[in-house]
Amino acid sequence: MLTIRNASFAYSQRRVLHSVTMQVEVGRTCLLIGRNGCGKSSLLRLAAGLRAPTDGSVQWCGRETSAIAPAQRARCVAWVAQRSMLAIDVTVRDVIELGAVHGAASVSAEELLHELALEPLASRRFHELSGGEQQRCIVARALRQHPDGGLLALDEPLANLDPAEAVRVIQALRRRCRKGGVVIAAVHDLALADQWADDIALLDGGRLLAFGPSTSVLQPSTLSSAFGCEFLARSGSLALQLPRGA
């Protein structure tokens, strides 16, 4: 279980998270939504233990995540960046295998190549791939690291993915949840979030504005206040209301 209690965080003097409190139960997917710069990525870094909160606590299975040694933490927590900074010229298979250096996954690179339809790209150079292909490759690396019952923190894992690939990645992440894991991810597609999430955390200016099942959070009035634009509820789903003349 991921437990975040009164967690605040600041880069130097700039405070980006203010007393966030939330809890994600085992087997659930929690999606973070909010405007650009609202603190989603910072909250994911705290969840993954890459930063320690300046106040409050972030715990995974009762242990302060940032206090766990990196090699040990890699066996229970995996993190996917918005964009990989990988600087070496290696193949897709090599990139996925980096997850196994300290990870504890039960699946092999070959199984992951199959699961995320990366087999045709296995011997291609990582830097020659499109943005979406690179993103799938980095998700596969996190899954190669991820043990059953672990935490997956993903920063915009569906960025640059076409709909079919997005569905494939979501299915792979759901399978990890069913095996007792927890997924926490930042997304921008609210319609997709509505279908995918068990819980949604809506952030605004570093504060947790709403947290709970999508039916309670994804309300036009709540979203309008957080995003500063109008939303309509249309046939059971949300739609962005464009200003007249736009």
Partner 1 sequence: MSAGRSTGWALIALGGALCAGIGARLLLGRDPSTGNWIVGVPEAEIALLRFGAVQSGVAAGAALGLSGLLLQALLRNPLASPFILGLSAGAGLGATLAAWLPIAAAGAAAAFVGPDALLPGTIGAVGVLLLVFLLGRRGGVLDPLTLVLAGTVVASMCGAITLLVQSMMPPTSRGELWSWFMGQVPELPRTIPFWNTVAMLVIVLLVASWKARALDVASAGDDEAASLGVAVGPLRLGLFIGAGALAAASVALCGPIAFVGFMAPHLARALLGGLHGALVPASAVAGAAILVWSDAIRQGIDFGSGRLPIGVLTALVGGPVFLLMLRSARLRRGDWSC
- 103 in contact with partner 1 (CB under 8 A): yes
Can you tell me which of 63, 114, 127, 175 binds partner 1, judged by CB under 8 A?
Answer: 127
Relative to beta strand 237-241, strand 77-80 is: unpaired
- 131 in contact with partner 1 (CB under 8 A): no
- 74 in contact with partner 1 (CB under 8 A): yes
- 14 in contact with partner 1 (CB under 8 A): no
Residues 6+ apart with CB under 8 A from 64: 52, 57, 58
Task: Name the amino acid, one letter, at 37.
Answer: G
- 87 in contact with partner 1 (CB under 8 A): yes
What is the token pair recorded at 185? Answer: 């991810």
- 90 in contact with partner 1 (CB under 8 A): yes
CA distance 138 to 60: 22
**Per-residue x/- track, 136-175, partner 1 (CB under 8 A):** -----x---x------------------------------
First-to-last C-alpha distance (Å) of the chain: 44
Task: Name the amino acid, one letter, at 162.
Answer: D
Size of the site for partner 1 (CB under 8 A): 32
Q: Which of 137, 144, 155, 196 is nearest to 38 (CA)?
A: 155
* Residue (140 or 218) nearer to partner 1, CB: 140
Handedness of CA 83, 127, 183, 186 (dihedral sign): positive
Q: What is the DSSP-derived secondary structure letter of residue 168? A: H
Q: Strand, helix or coil at 151?
A: strand
Restricting to residues 16-55, which ones interact with partner 1 according to CB under 8 A?
A: 45, 48, 50
Query: CB count, 10 Å around CB of 174?
Result: 15
* Residue (93 or 231) nearer to partner 1, CB: 93
* Choices 16-24, 27-35, 82-90, 168-176 (CB under 8 A): range interacting with partner 1: 82-90
* Choices 27-35, 98-106, 110-118, 231-239 (CB under 8 A): range interacting with partner 1: 98-106
Can you tell me which of 25, 64, 89, 230 binds partner 1, judged by CB under 8 A?
Answer: 89
- 70 in contact with partner 1 (CB under 8 A): yes
Give the H or E element holding residue 196: helix 190-196
What is the token pair recorded at 141? Answer: 């690396």
Backbone φ, ψ for residue 75 (5° rounding): -85, -5
Q: How far is the CB of 98 from partner 1 (least distance, A)?
A: 6
Can you tell me which of 98, 129, 167, 192 binds partner 1, judged by CB under 8 A?
Answer: 98
Q: Footprint of partner 1 on this chain (CB under 8 A)? A: 45, 48, 50, 69-75, 77-79, 81, 84-91, 94, 98-99, 101-103, 125, 127, 141, 145
